Structure 1
Amino acid sequence: MIAALPMYDRPENRAAHDALWALIRDGLRARGICAPEALDRSLPHDAGWGRPDLVLGQICNLPWRAQFRGRVTRIAVADYGLPDTPPGHYHSVMVTRAGEALPPRPRLAINDPMSCSGWDAPQEWLLREGVQIGAVLVTGSHAASVRALAEGRADLAGIDAVTWGMLRRWEPAAASLTVIGRTTATPGMTFIAAGQVDPLPRRAAIAEALDALPADHRATLGLQAVVDLPESAYDRPLPPPPEAVAATVVARGPVSAPVLRQRKGAP
Structure 2
Amino acid sequence: MNLIASLPWYDLPASQHALDLFWNRLRTELECLSVSGLPARLNRELTPQQLWQRSELLLSQCCGPDLFTDDACALEPVARPIFQDLACTPGTYFSHIVTARSIPTTTNPRLVVNAPSSRSGCLALLEWLAEQGLAADAEPLISGSHQQSLQYLREGRADLAAIDAHSWGLLDHHGLSVIGCSREAEAPPFVRHRLNPIPASVLYAALDETIQELGPSIGISGLIETDIEVYRDMATDRSCLSACIQTGSAEQSRLRPVA
TM class by shorter chain equals 0.7 to 0.9
Asked if 2 retains the 8 angstrom alpha-carbon contact of 1:137 and 1:248, the reply is no
Q: Secondary structure at the match of 1:106?
A: coil
Aligned to 2:220: 223
Q: Distance in 2 between matches of 1:246 and 1:27?
A: 41
Q: Distance in 1 between matches of 2:245 and 2:52?
A: 29
Matched, 1:105 2:105: no
In the superposition, the TM-score normalised over structure 1's length comes to 0.83
Aligned length: 246
State which drifts further: 104-113 or 237-246: 237-246
1:68-217 pair list within 5 angstroms: 71-99=74-102, 101=104, 104-135=107-138, 136-167=140-171, 171=172, 174-195=173-194, 198-213=199-214
Aligned to 2:257: none
Asked if 2 retains the 8 angstrom alpha-carbon contact of 1:62 and 1:120, the reply is no
Query: Please, what is the CA RMSD of the aligned residues?
Result: 2.4
Q: Secondary structure at the match of 1:64?
A: helix
Q: Distance in 1 between matches of 2:12 and 2:56?
A: 24
1:230 CA displacement: 5.0
Q: Distance in 2 between matches of 1:99 and 1:155?
A: 9
1:248 CA displacement: 6.0
The one-letter code of the counterpart of 1:227 is I
Asked if 2 retains the 8 angstrom alpha-carbon contact of 1:74 and 1:192, the reply is yes
In the superposition, the TM-score normalised over structure 2's length comes to 0.85
In structure 2, relative to structure 1, the CA distance for the partners of 1:166 and 1:113 (3 Å cut) is: same
Q: Distance in 1 between matches of 2:227 and 2:194?
A: 18
Q: Distance in 2 between matches of 1:249 and 1:157?
A: 19
Asked if 2 retains the 8 angstrom alpha-carbon contact of 1:108 and 1:154, the reply is yes
State which drifts further: 70-79 or 147-156: 70-79
String of CA shifts for 1:116-160, please: whole Å, max 9, x gaps: 111122222111111100121111110110011111110000111
In structure 2, relative to structure 1, the CA distance for the partners of 1:90 and 1:251 (3 Å cut) is: same
In structure 2, relative to structure 1, the CA distance for the partners of 1:33 and 1:248 (3 Å cut) is: same
Q: Secondary structure at the match of 1:47?
A: helix
Unaligned stretches of 5+ residues in structure 1: 256-267
Q: Secondary structure at the match of 1:75?
A: strand
The one-letter code of the counterpart of 1:125 is W
In structure 2, relative to structure 1, the CA distance for the partners of 1:253 and 1:70 (3 Å cut) is: closer
Asked if 1 retains the 8 angstrom alpha-carbon contact of 2:123 and 2:240, the reply is no
1:211 CA displacement: 2.2
Q: Secondary structure at the match of 2:183?
A: coil
In structure 2, relative to structure 1, the CA distance for the partners of 1:69 and 1:57 (3 Å cut) is: closer
Aligned to 1:240: 239
1:103 CA displacement: 6.3
Asked if 2 retains the 8 angstrom alpha-carbon contact of 1:93 and 1:159, the reply is yes
Asked if 2 retains the 8 angstrom alpha-carbon contact of 1:210 and 1:218, the reply is yes
1:30-41 pair list within 5 angstroms: 30-34=32-36, 35-41=38-44
Asked if 1 retains the 8 angstrom alpha-carbon contact of 2:78 and 2:200, the reply is yes
Q: Distance in 2 between matches of 1:126 and 1:179?
A: 14
Unaligned stretches of 5+ residues in structure 2: 255-259
Aligned to 2:23: 21
State which drifts further: 110-119 or 241-250: 241-250
1:82 CA displacement: 4.5
1:212 CA displacement: 2.5
String of CA shifts for 1:145-196, please: whole Å, max 9, x gaps: 00111111100001111111211xxx1xx22111111111111121111115
Q: Distance in 1 between matches of 2:45 and 2:134?
A: 39
Q: Secondary structure at the match of 1:11?
A: coil
